[in-house]
Chain A
Amino acid sequence: MTISADHTAQPPAAPNSAASEAVRKFGITVEDYMLPARHQIQMVGPDGTLNPHTEQGTQPGHEYTLPGDEELMAAYEQLVVGRRVNDQNSALVRQGRMAVYPSSHGQEACQVAAALCLSDGDWMFPTYRDSVAVMARGVDPVQTMTLFRGDWHGGYDPAKHKVGIQCTPLTTQLLHGVGVAHAAKLRGEDTVVLAMCGDGATSEGDFHEALNFAAVFHLPVVFFVQNNQYAISVPLAHQSVAPSLAHKAVGYGMAGERVDGNDIVALLAVLDRAVKLARDGSGPLLVEAHTYRMQAHTNADDATRYRQDSEVAQWVAKDPLSRMKTYLTDRGLLDDDRSARIADKAEAVAAQLREGLSEDVPVDPQDLFKYVFSTPTPQLKEQSAMLADELSREEAAK
């Protein structure tokens, strides 16, 4: 292994950075560059038409290009699959085949864009609500559900897929993403890390520490906050009175951007650019996506206790799938035939989940001891023998 030359903290506006380029090009300050656009970036509005009044191109430093047709079609397919996965999993919980499922219904655009913006060598650090993003990244759907099914805490190899284990303690995984990026940078690799969290999680101390470390060490990390308005029952106003969560970036010396989290076209444009900037050495960025958690926190939650149906109804009109369907159909990219094929694909994944999760995988009680350390301690060997003996006596008594 070769560790690259000495690296120390770099100023935010290093000579070749995107910031200094914007400063030169537009005569703005570095601080101006770091601030998010005046309004969230939106390209396709809720009615499915390309928005002529978006910020892009009108505000210095916030120019975004429309993603290519192929990327948009791939994204749409994943959106449909993601929605089907969410609803299938919620149904499986109701049927008692899974312990719990935190659904990202309504947030599928964020989920899909998070996976599509990354290259093979990049890493993603997801939360418990990001199962669709994990699957969109290529992890087997049934393996992804291991945590919620209760077979084990994680069902896939993070190193193989370059996807961190879905994290329940809030924002702790952002620091792991920072470490992965730091190690890659020291070896001179061009890995980018997408580190994900929600709006409520931005109140956690590790959110601050992760952003600060990434900024100070100038690491290729894109922090992606899905602002779905609620942390279980607590609305964003109780978490933060910052102008927006994206504005927090400037306090760390990094650029922030906010984007319509139900507009996958804008999400891809913003995240693709953020990943590119990070890869090119511009340091970390923070992207906040405005979206909405359409369903309760999990099946154990009752959302009617803390929010009005009328509020939810407003967001139905902003659904990420319907606007994309309209947009692509109007563009002539999507027809009934293609729609049917995409629906079949989504149905196949749902069937895979139904089949995989109805299969009762036998658990091995000896697994309790196998993975605590690389080599079990004498004490764990003793306890493992004790359990084996207990079970063999139970078996003999049958």
Chain B
Amino acid sequence: MDAFALARPSRRSILAGTAALIAMPSVLRAQTRELVVGGAAGHKPWVEQIVVPAFEKKYNCKVIFEGTRSLVNLEKMQKNKDRQYMSVVQMDDPVMILAVKEGLLDPLTPAKAPNMADLLPGSTHMDGMWANYLQPWLGIAYNKTAVKAPPVSWAELFDATYKGRVIIPSLQNTEGLPILFAAGLLTGASLDAAQKDTDVGFKKLATLKANLLTIYTQQPQAYNLLEQGEAHLIGPAMSSYCLERKAAGAPIDLAAPKEGVFAMPSGIAVIKGAPQPELAFAYVNELLGAELQGKLAGPTFSLATNKAVPKPEGLGADVKIFQIDWANVAAQRNDWIKRWDRDMAI
């Protein structure tokens, strides 16, 4: 490149150079296999720093990670249905459900991804269409200066001592949905019952209104208020966000309520008709494996789905982890949001 810039190129040399540049990608492709993975923009740092180098070395190939939003990934898959260029996709479960409906995914099998056998129950969905690899968990975030004893139960969000000091996420946000189920659990319902019939949950939530500082749609705003002490509790709060703020020095921490914590949806799947299918299944298999998950759980403040990886710090070994039925959520969410707007209004 430097030589190119120094020498004044003649027209002919430019033509020759351009031709070589155009021809190059196919030459490269012939030499090294290339795998395109679509995922979330926020995942780019850990994918490129930890996953990609390990995988490229082991399989002698090149991995390109395209970070964007889940719905954009879905659109890319729809547009290229006859000629996919991405092989693997990392998306949230609710979007995976849409991809399955469109027939865009190639199911995982234990033969193609042997690490599936070592996953915790509930980590694969819709007959293996996709699997969860790492899951941020949802607990209660609290300001350490204002709250001396870490909250031990979801019931503390409803405690009168926190009048006007509690923030919850909107149902519009994925991390906000479990508040409805947690409220149902507090009335004595099972998780299944709390998800299917949300009426008791909504009635319980109405009693939270006196404690509410606000309901957020923008996560950074909520944490800003928590760190400054205007808010004392945020629940449900996402480990990947809260613990990263804590690691950055914010006076906050995340508690795991005794009833259990909720797992956030983060799935991985192979795209149907993808280039390099063996490599694609190998990539998924690696992300489901104990070795890579063990390396990733810490930096991403997430739960591993492989049985062999211990639970992260701050979560007791016996803490219950709830997996949400995202198909049920997809079917009912709009009706829930309608009721939420009415019941939770100021």
Please indicate whether A and B come from the same complex rather than being unrelated chains.
no
